[in-house]
Amino acid sequence: MQQPSPTYDLRRQRIIWGWVFLSPWIIGFLIFYLIPMIASLAFTFTDFDLTRPNDINWVGLRNWQSLLADPNVGASLRNTFLYGAIALPLTVGIPILLASLLNQPELLGKRWLRTLFYMPFMIPTVASAFIWAGYLNVETGWLNRLLALVGISGPNWLYDPQIIYFGLFMASLWGVGNSMLITLAGMQTVPTELYEAARVDGASKWALFRRITLPMISPVILYNLVLTTIGLFRFFDVPFMLKGSTGNPAGTTLFFNIYLYRVAFPQQNMGYGSALAWLLFIIALAATLVIFLTARRWVYYSGGEVG
Amino acid sequence: MNTSQNRASPLAVTPVERNTSTVLFHHARHYTGVAMITLFAIIILTLFLSPLGYMAVTSVKSTEQITSGTLLLPMSPIQYEYKGEPYDLFNVPTDDGLKQWALVNAQRTSSEFVDPQNPDVGLIPWQGRWRTLTPVMTLEPQWSNFPLAFERLNFPRMFFNTLMIAVLGVIGTLISCILVAYGFARFPIPGKGILFVILISTIILPRQVTLVPTYAFFASLGWTGTWLPLIVPHFFANAYNVFLLRQYFLTLPKELDEAAMIDGAGPMRILLTVIIPQAYPVIVAVGLFHFVFAWNDYFEPLIYLLNAPQLQPISLGIQQFNDIYTKEPAMLQATSIMALIPPLVLFLLSQRVFMRGIVVTGVDK
């Protein structure tokens, strides 16, 4: 046997140090991700109920069967997707528009504007939900009074079942600051030469945006799209703060996550709650996969590398 | 559509020779463009932030001022007491000009007023519809809304709870995430690539899928109804923050580490004396992110602290306030202000460093 060389020794030592530094995450991953995930899958086949935690019975596929029969599952999924159909394009699109505005070379006071557009992201959700609830109030709020100035009679944003998703979207609007900032940072890494070359060829501003900016920031758009989609399946705080788990008006705010909360916590039905959680996980995973698969068509990676 | 590098001269648009008039033309065009786009951005910003204006003025109004008063400022009608009864003052046009008189006897087409300057004259008849008159208003902000909300909410208690949960969580997040990010950025761990992918994939894992067992686990430890479930997990790193820190650490030159290593510094010394001092923008960003996250967090306090009102943070406590006081918009806005001031002040104080920390690391490449 050969004596290990000093560089080999040093390398081994550095590997050990590396594991030491990673250990908080590895332990956390096991305790708070891997084991709970497996456990919650196992719970879906039981009648686990926290009011009688020592009396757990295997019930086979019963929870999964009730999932299919439960009208609230279909309704809450439909609400979540309907809200997503409105909120997703806006939540992804508005940061791009704001970032392009803030990236205009002629704009004065960029630093200030950037900070001020970002600022509401720092406002606690509970405060922003109440502020917007007041702002959208049909009698005393500002939005409908502003609309009245231009002759529009505003709707009852948070009480009309036809309109409430727009109201909820607005009440969540202040979350766009972070995506805007990341998009803006992405735009600022686009090489200037690309624009200059295109401009010499006589390209219009819109063509520059469509043919250069959008492809160059498409990885950032993908990132925002994935996080927004995940956020959609987590949608809870704003509707719950404003409407609780009542689903008012007309059942429109019974989002999937709110229904899950109602089953797992006030009702303490942990087995069925786990089945709901796993259904959500499967849907979210499928949605993310679809996004990543289609991403090959529209996400541009400079230099051809992926990821 | 341009980058910040290309803001040299507004005139260097095309490399064509110009005479004075085209230069002036381009000047004028340039400055019009600047003014238009800046004005447009300010209008959008004003609309975007206008709910804050609503919050500010509503928080100092009384319920009457909200329902019947002016849109913007907390105005109240001025009243004048005549023979022991209060009457509203109106701007009344008379032959001697506009007078501020108190309306005593209101009739449809003719009314009787009293002149506060000269009450001994008695009732003055006036021909005309009193409803067309504008009342005399005065600014009357209800500052007392704040102490009232403060008291009803037990705000100091909730503030203390939120602060403790947030600060302890920030400490845990910073210690654990810096260590893990340092491990990922600088050490030759076998399988590091796969581990990093697993780490990142936990970002897109819906939290619900681990929720029930985690809750059952904390319940079996007897930790429900305590702060521990809101604090302890943050000592085990979090994917998003590790990602931000690692990206930043990777931009730091390795030569400094190596120089310190040659001087005999161990990995811990290098982290403390070389990496951390260079990485303070991203550390501020991550610390602030966690602080705001904790200040904001609603779901976990809801499931763990619902039955422990003495331990609840602001987010949960105010929510219950909403249930009780929906009929009092002013109270709701006053409490919203109190809830948003701490994170907002912290952000505005640190925004220079903070924005740099995000912008450098934020781009996912």
Q: Any CB–CB contact under 8 A between A264 and chain B?
A: yes
Q: Which of A12, A33, A122 to mutate to test the interface with B (most CBs of B within 10 A)?
A: A122
* Chain A residues close to B211, C-beta within 8 Å: 36, 40, 264, 273, 277
Locate A265 and state its tokens.
């916590």
Per-residue model confidence as pLDDT tens digits over A74-107: 999 999 999 999 999 999 999 999 999 999 888 8
On the question of pLDDT at A10 being above 70, the answer is yes
The domains located in chain B, with CATH, are: 4-57 (no CATH), 76-139 (no CATH), 146-362 (1.10.3720.10)
Nearest to A260 by CA among A44, A29, A28: A44
Task: Report d(CA A250, CA A157) in Å as an integer.
Answer: 14
Which chain A residue shows the shortest CA-CA distance from B7?
Answer: A105
B91 φ, ψ (degrees, to nearest 5): -85, 110
Which chain B residue shows the shortest CA-CA distance from A139?
Answer: B67
Task: Report d(CA B201, CA B119) in Å as an integer.
Answer: 80
Residue with tokens 């068509």: A297
Locate A13 and state its tokens.
């030592």
pLDDT at B18: 53
Contacts for B298 with CB less than 8 Å, ≥ 6 apart: A125, A126, A237, A240, A241, B315, B316, B319
* Chain A residues close to B182, C-beta within 8 Å: 21
Q: Quick one: angle between helices B20-59 and A110-118, nearest 10?
A: 30
CB B208 to CB A277 under 8 A?
Answer: yes
DSSP classification of residue B252 = S
Nearest to B196 by CA among B237, B239, B251: B239
pLDDT at A27: 96
pLDDT at B84: 79
ipTM of the complex in this document = 0.85
Which helix (H) or strand (E) segment holds residue B90: the answer is: strand B85-94
The domains located in chain A, with CATH, are: 66-304 (1.10.3720.10)
CB B179 to CB A288 under 8 A?
Answer: no
pLDDT at A190: 85
Task: Report d(CA A200, CA A275) in Å as an integer.
Answer: 59
| Cβ–Cβ < 8 Å for B102, B82 | yes
Q: Model confidence at A57, in pLDDT bands (50, 70, 90)? A: confident
Per-residue model confidence as pLDDT tens digits over A140-167: 889 998 898 888 888 999 899 999 999 9
CB A182 to CB B237 under 8 A?
Answer: no
DSSP A108-172: S-HHHHHHHHHGGGGS-HHHHHHHHHHHT-TTT-HHHHHHHHTT-----TTT-TTTHHHHHHHHT
Q: Model confidence at A132, in pLDDT bands (50, 70, 90)? A: very high
Locate A182 and state its tokens.
């990341």
Task: Report d(CA A126, CA A158) in Å as an integer.
Answer: 16
Task: Report d(CA A238, CA B322) in Å as an integer.
Answer: 13
Residue with tokens 């959500």: A280
CB A115 to CB B355 under 8 A?
Answer: yes
Q: Any CB–CB contact under 8 A between A281 and chain B?
A: yes
Task: Report d(CA A121, CA A152) in Å as an integer.
Answer: 29
Q: For residue A284, what are the CA distances in angstroms to A49, A64, A176, A290?
A: 26, 17, 21, 10
Question: Which residues share a beta bridge with B101?
Answer: B90
Q: Select the more confidently predicted residue: B153 or A135.
A: A135
β-strand pairing of B75-77 with B110-114: unpaired
- Mean pLDDT, rounded, for A52-63: 84
CB A130 to CB B203 under 8 A?
Answer: no
pLDDT at A305: 42
- Using CB atoms, which residue from B41, B344, B363 is nearest to A122? B344
End-to-end Cα distance, chain A:
42
**Helix, strand, coil percent values for chain A (each to nearest 5):** 70, 0, 25
Please give the single-letter amino acid code of residue A276.
L
pLDDT at B48: 94
- Mean pLDDT, rounded, for A200-217: 88
Locate B38 and state its tokens.
């800046």
End-to-end Cα distance, chain B:
21
pLDDT at B12: 44
DSSP classification of residue B98 = E
Locate B120 and state its tokens.
């001994």
Burial class (CB in 10 A: 0-12, 13-18, 19+), A61: exposed
Burial class (CB in 10 A: 0-12, 13-18, 19+), B14: exposed
Per-residue model confidence as pLDDT tens digits over A247-284: 888 899 999 999 999 999 888 888 999 999 999 999 99
Question: Which residues share a beta bridge with B94?
Answer: B97
Three-state DSSP state, B52: helix
* Chain A residues close to B38, C-beta within 8 Å: 106-109
CB A24 to CB B3 under 8 A?
Answer: no
* Chain A residues close to B40, C-beta within 8 Å: 101
Task: Report d(CA B8, CA A105) in Å as an integer.
Answer: 10
On the question of pLDDT at A306 being above 60, the answer is no
Task: Report d(CA A178, CA A101) in Å as an integer.
Answer: 15
Minimum distance, in Å, between the CA of residue B112 and any CA atom of chain A: 33
| Selected residues 1-30 of chain A with any CB under 8 Å from a CB in chain B | 11, 14-15, 17-22, 24-25, 27-29
Per-residue model confidence as pLDDT tens digits over B108-132: 778 888 888 877 877 888 888 877 7
DSSP A2-15: PPPPHHHHHHHHHH
Task: Report d(CA A139, CA B348) in Å as an integer.
Answer: 33
| Cβ–Cβ < 8 Å for B142, B65 | yes
Radius of gyration of chain B (CA): 31
Kindly report the average pLDDT of chain A as a whole number.
88
Buried-exposed string A5-43: b where 16+ CB fall within 10 A, e elsewhere: eeeeeeeeeeeebbeebbbbbbebbebbbeebbebbbeb
Report residues of chain B scoring pLDDT below 70. Answer: 1-20, 69-71, 322-326, 359-365
CB A15 to CB B188 under 8 A?
Answer: yes
Task: Report d(CA B224, CA A59) in Å as an integer.
Answer: 27
Residue with tokens 């003055």: B124
| Cβ–Cβ < 8 Å for A183, A216 | no
DSSP classification of residue A58 = B
Task: Report d(CA B26, CA B12) in Å as an integer.
Answer: 10
